[in-house]
Amino acid sequence: MNIRTPFTAAIALAVTITACSSDSTGVTETGTSDVVGVVVGVDPSHFLAGTTVTTVPCTLSDGTVTTCYNIVASTPTDHEMGPWCPENISDGEEAGGIWLENGEVYDVDGAFVANMATFYNDNTWLMYDTNGDIYVTATEEDCINAANPNVGEAYKNFCVECIPDYISDLERTWLIPTTPIKLTTAANFAGMGPGSFGPTIRGIALNGVEFSASAPVDNILGAYTLAPFDDAGGHINVHQGYHYHAATGMSTKVTQDDGHAAMIGYATDGHGIYEQLNEDGSEPDDLDACRGHYDDTRGYHYHVDAPGSNNFINCLYGAYAN
Q: Are 215 and 236 in contact (CB under 8 A)?
A: no
Check residue 193 and give its pLDDT.
53
pLDDT the model gives residue 53: 96
What are 93-126's pLDDT values in tens digits?
Answer: 999 999 999 999 999 999 999 999 999 999 999 9
What's the whole-model pTM score?
Answer: 0.88
Residues facing residue 285 across a β-bridge: none
